[in-house]
Chains A and B, each alone.
Chain A
Amino acid sequence: MGHPTIYPTGVTVYDPEKCWNGLTIFQAQEVGAVLMDMNGREVNVWKGVLGMPNKIFPGGYLMTSRGRRDGKFSVQDGIDVVQVDWEGKVVWKFDQNEFIEDPGYEGRWIARYHHDFQREGNPVGYYAPGMEPKTDSGNTLVLAHRNARNSAISDKQLLDDLILEVNWEGEIVWEWNCHEHFEEFGFREGPKNTLARNPNYRPTKPEGMGDWMHINSMSVLGPNKWYDAGDQRFHPDNIIVDGREANITFIIDKKSGKVVWKLGPDYDSTPELKAIGWIIGQHHCHMIPAGLPGAGNILIFDNGGWGGYDVPNPGSPTGVKAALRDYSRVLEIDPVAMKIVWQYTPSEAGFLFPMDSNRFYSPFISGMQRLPNGNTLITEGSDGRVFEVTPDHKIVWEFISPYWGKHVPMNMTYRAYRVPYEWVPQVKKPAETPIKPLDVFSFRVPGAAALGDRAKEVTVDGCVPYGGSNALCVASVDDDDKK
């Protein structure tokens, strides 16, 4: 965080030789879904939609939503999930989760969808070789809400997460209710006490509700090497989700509904978890699909910020959102060895840790996509930044959203995806014009003095040479190394 007042938006870095070139879809705040080329030219804008996320499917189809329920009555309830064609015509729709009669509104079906959906044929909703999402048939998994009461969690009304599988006709054929699996998450007594008092209360009408888990990502594992080797926890039909309010990522057995693998909610119970460190308020946890570099590993956008339940402490007087950190991490984890095998953190970004770590930081939303050439497309969502990094952490493409909202005055973007040109036959392959990063040392806005425009300089006797120093106000990584 800590942006300057003036900085460029749009595409700021582009090295076509090192990128996995294609089109990029993102949500322009309070505008709609924008599909753009590598230089930032907008090839189509579906105005008015509110995709969380937007996804492009083969044939130039957009999966998105047409808006949200009034926030007075619930939290982030999308009214529907729709598949629209290149011209914006709805070709598939789901909304029959719940028939809602909010004060001031006609009774209507609402999907209460939020944060994610997946169409049969592809486990994660982005390009993977040989796994195209179906566009004229197939079932769709939808992450949704349903209010619930469960005294084992709290006596407060809960805004529970729900996974629905709906068929092409829009009928629910399978569902999974999060609160029914509370005992499987392994909360300690302290966090349970906090949850019981305050399950992340949201002051909705006519009754408040506890957004206690807040799942923000849901995808299928798909074919993977772990299952092929006999590990039933990773059955291709199983579903991986993460709950940001509990700092937990887990895999649901599709057949039984049971939690069969989990990471969190605590990170201090085994040497492996301690090595991974606390994952806080994470987003977009998913298994890298077969056929992509790192297949079978789990990608996590570890936001930092604030998340999890624990006993009250100075950073969290009530015990809600108890773990804190002021920078983000993108982690690639081997889910069997429970070991980080690749990461992009402030250190890899070149920021001095921890003093300057918050320069890679999105405390909410965000995500990442593994690309076929091994690069990773990262959405640092809160500040509308999307960038592509190579396996050795070099930024080869970067985009800053120029869309600030009026209702929400941020240029945030929830989650961007890179799409192969072949998936959008309506667009002729665009020109790929390299953009060298600006030299920020010498770049000046009009009217500013040029670098080195110095009227005078003097030398002071007795100064010692500049050098590395541990005299900063907080300990640095270097200090640790010297122990």
Chain B
Amino acid sequence: MSITLYTAPNCLRCKIVKEFLAKRGQGYTAYDFKEDKDIFNNYYRANRSSIYRNPEGVEFPIFDDGNVIKQGTGEILAYLLSGRVLESCVTRSELLHGWISGLNVSACPAGQEENFSTLIRVLAKGGLTVQLRSDGRRSDLLKTILDEGTVSRMVLDIVAPSRLYPTVAGGPIDLEDLNRSISLTRSHADHLIRIVVSAYAGEGGAMTRITPAEAGEAAQMVLDACGNRMLPVFVEAAQNAGLEPLEGQALLPYRSKVRNVLVKAEIRKPEAH
């Protein structure tokens, strides 16, 4: 299957994908959306529904091998490394301007550790600033990756109380594993620990959210794991298109419940990002 790349001028993310393909000896055809604007515009019109735009415009590069359309350097490289197997742990980056996120070490499928590590390495060495995320699971892989020194910012998200982890995160959480993840995260110079008000498909499939009481349970799980009630954590909501936005004052009941356990909990405000 032939590979087509649609790129932008002076695009670091595009350069990383091109170099990765070249290194693997995989041929491709590349079109610059400005220089080859007629070709790109025809492609864009034909595939508009499959192409997303970040806050600053179309995300480049766009990868098309005839089977799938991929955007975002992380997602394209993950696809090239493992097909669709890494889709659970490599998602769209919410960060722009040289940063890349959407990389969840905890969701890495068994047997894909080397590919995931390679992905992080390629992104970092290609010049992107990597934000790695964990939900407290897979501290073994987290240590391996952090030891390489390729991660610029480490984010640990506590996404649910223990009993809801399989539903929300896709697998159970072990307190010792969580404690090691907390220690590793805190040892990173630029780190953030969040109690995330997660949105998830509840009973019957309807989207729902973690309740304030459940956020408090999640905080208790953290305290049980690390024994440090002074642990600095932020409370932040995961927004979901199917639910009303949860922000500002609406987060205060969550903070109150979390603070009953982790006394330094604060709401993370936009300017703090």
> B70 in the interface, Cβ–Cβ < 8 Å?
no
Contact with A along B233-254 (1 / 0, CB 8 A): 0000000000000000100110
Q: A107-B230, A109-B263 are in contact. Are A96 and B256 (CB under 8 A)?
A: yes
Q: Does A458 reach chain B (CB closer than 8 Å)?
A: no
**C-alpha spacing A107/B255, complex, angstroms:** 19
Complex Cα distance A358/B252, Å? 47
The answer on a CB contact under 8 Å between B256 and A174 is no
Given contacts A96-B259, A99-B264, A109-B263, A175 and B252 within 8 Å (CB-CB): yes
CB distance from A84 to the nearest CB of B (A): 23
Q: In chain A, what residue has the closest Cβ to B212?
A: A171
B264 contact set on A, CB distance < 8 A: 99
Cβ contact within 8 Å between A172 and B263: no
Contacting residues, chain A, for B259 (C-beta < 8 A): 96, 99
Interchain CA distance A96-B264 in the complex, whole Å: 11
- Chain A residue at minimal CB-CB distance from B265: A99
User: Are B263 and A175 neighbours in the complex by a CB distance under 8 Å?
Assistant: no
Which residues of chain A (129-180) have a CB below 8 Å from chain B?
171-175
Say which residue of B249, B257, B263 sits within 8 Å of A174 (CB atoms).
B249
Q: Of A99, A101, A107, A172, which one neighbours B256 at CB under 8 angstroms?
A: A172
Contact B256–A171 (Cβ < 8 Å): yes
Q: In the complex, what's the smallest C-beta–C-beta distance from B22 to chain A, in angstroms?
A: 46
Closest to A109 in B: B263
Interface string of A74-99 (1 = CB under 8 A from B): 00000000000000000000001001
Question: What range describes how many residues of A lie at the interface?
Answer: 10 to 19
| B260 CB to nearest A CB, Å | 8
- Chain B min CB distance to A173 (Å): 6
Question: Does the CB pair A175–B249 fall under 8 Å?
Answer: yes
Of the residues A101, A107, A109, A172, contact of B252 by C-beta under 8 Å: A172
Q: Do A172 and B255 form a contact, CB below 8 Å, given A99-B263, A99-B264, A109-B263?
A: yes
Question: Which residues of A are found within 8 Å of B255, using beta-carbon distances?
Answer: 172
State which residues 134-179 of B face A: CB under 8 Å: none
Interface residues of A in 31-45 (CB under 8 A from B): none
Contact with A along B178-190 (1 / 0, CB 8 A): 0000000000000
Q: How far is the CA of A101 from the CA of B264 in the complex (A)?
A: 11
User: Closest A-chain residue to B263, C-beta based?
Assistant: A99
What is the CB-to-nearest-CB distance from A166 to chain B, in angstroms, rounded to a whole number?
Answer: 9
When the two chains form the complex, which single residue of A96, A101, A171 contacts B253, counting CB atoms closer than 8 Å? Answer: A171
Contact B253 A173 (CB under 8 A): yes
- Please indicate which of the listed interface residues A99, A101, A109, A174 has the most CB atoms of chain B within 10 Å of its own CB: A99
Residues of chain A lying within 8 A (CB to CB) of residue B253: 171, 173
> What's the nearest-Cβ distance from chain B to residue A298, in Å?
27
Question: A286 vs B72: C-alpha distance in the bound complex, in angstroms?
Answer: 56
- Give the CA-CA distance A99 to B228 in the complex, in Å: 14
B223 to chain A, nearest CB (A): 14
Q: Closest Cβ of chain A: how far from B228's Cβ, in Å? A: 12
Cβ–Cβ < 8 Å partners of A172 in chain B: 252, 255-256
Which B residues are in CB contact (< 8 Å) with A109?
A: 263
Question: Which residues of the other chain, B, contact A173 by a CB distance below 8 angstroms?
Answer: 249, 252-253, 256
Q: Mark A300-311, 1 if CB is under 8 A from B, else 0.
A: 000000000000
- Provide the bound-state CA to CA distance between A310 and B259, in Å: 41
Chain B residue numbers with a CB within 8 Å of A171 are: 252-253, 256-257
What is the CB-to-nearest-CB distance from A152 to chain B, in angstroms, rounded to a whole number? Answer: 11
* Residues in chain B near residue A174, CB distance under 8 A: 249, 252
Report Cα–Cα, A99/B259, bound state, in Å. Answer: 9
- The smallest beta-carbon distance between B153 and chain A, in angstroms, is 21
Binary A-proximity of B203-234 (CB < 8 A = 1, otherwise 0): 00000000000000000000000000010000
CB contacts (< 8 Å) of B257 on chain A: these are 171
Cβ of B251 to closest chain A Cβ, rounded Å: 10
Closest residue of B by beta carbon distance from A100: B263
CB distance from A163 to the nearest CB of B (A): 12
- Report the bound CA distance from A174 to B252 in whole Å: 7
Residue ID in chain B nearest A174 by CB atoms: B249
CB distance from B212 to the nearest CB of A (A): 9
In whole angstroms, what is the CA distance A101 to B263 when docked? Answer: 11
How distant is the Cα of A171 from the Cα of B253 in the complex, in angstroms? 7
A173 vs B248: C-alpha distance when bound (angstroms)? 11
Measured in the bound complex, the distance between the Cα atoms of B249 and A107 in whole Å is 27
**Residues in chain B near residue A96, CB distance under 8 A:** 256, 259-260
- A107 proximity list for chain B (CB < 8 A): 230, 263
In the assembled complex, which residues on chain A have CB atoms less than 8 Å from the CB atom of B263?
99, 107, 109
Complex: A330 Cα to B243 Cα, angstroms: 51
Instruction: Give the residues from 194 to 208 in chain B that come closer than 8 angstroms, CB to CB, to chain A.
Output: none
Smallest CB–CB gap between A379 and chain B, Å?
A: 34
Nearest-CB residue, chain A, relative to B248: A257
Q: In the complex, A175 Cα to B267 Cα: how many Å? A: 12
CA A172 – CA B230 in complex, angstroms?
19
Query: How many angstroms between the C-alpha atoms of A96 and B216 in the bound complex?
Result: 15
Interface centre among B230, B260, B263, by most chain A C-beta atoms within 10 angstroms, is B263
- Which residues of the partner chain A approach B230 to less than 8 Å between Cβ atoms? 99, 101, 107
Q: How far is the CA of A174 from the CA of B263 in the complex (A)?
A: 18
- Taking the closest CB of chain A, its distance from the CB of B217, in whole angstroms, is 16
Q: Mark contacts of A225-248 with chain B using CB atoms, 8 A cut-off: 1 yes-contact digit, 0 otherwise.
A: 000000000000000000000000
Tell me the complex Cα distance, A172–B266, Å: 12
A175 to B252, CA, bound (A): 8
A99 to B232, CA, bound (A): 12
Distance A4 CA – B220 CA, assembled complex (angstroms): 63
Q: Considering only CB atoms, which chain A residue lies closest to B256 in the complex?
A: A171
Q: Which residues of the other chain, B, contact A99 by a CB distance below 8 angstroms?
A: 230, 259, 263-264
Identify the closest chain A residue to B255 (Cβ). A172
Please, which residue of chain B has its CB at the minimum distance from the CB of A108?
B263
Enumerate the 3 nearest inter-chain pairs by beta-carbon distance, A residue then B residue, closest first: A99-B263, A171-B256, A172-B252
Report 13 cross-chain contacts, Cβ distance below 8 Å, ordered by A residue.
Answer: A96-B256, A99-B230, A99-B259, A101-B230, A107-B263, A171-B253, A172-B252, A172-B255, A173-B249, A173-B252, A173-B256, A174-B252, A175-B249
15 A-B pairs besides A96-B256, A172-B252 with CB distance below 8 A are A99-B230, A99-B259, A99-B263, A99-B264, A101-B230, A107-B263, A171-B257, A172-B255, A172-B256, A173-B249, A173-B253, A173-B256, A174-B252, A175-B249, A175-B252
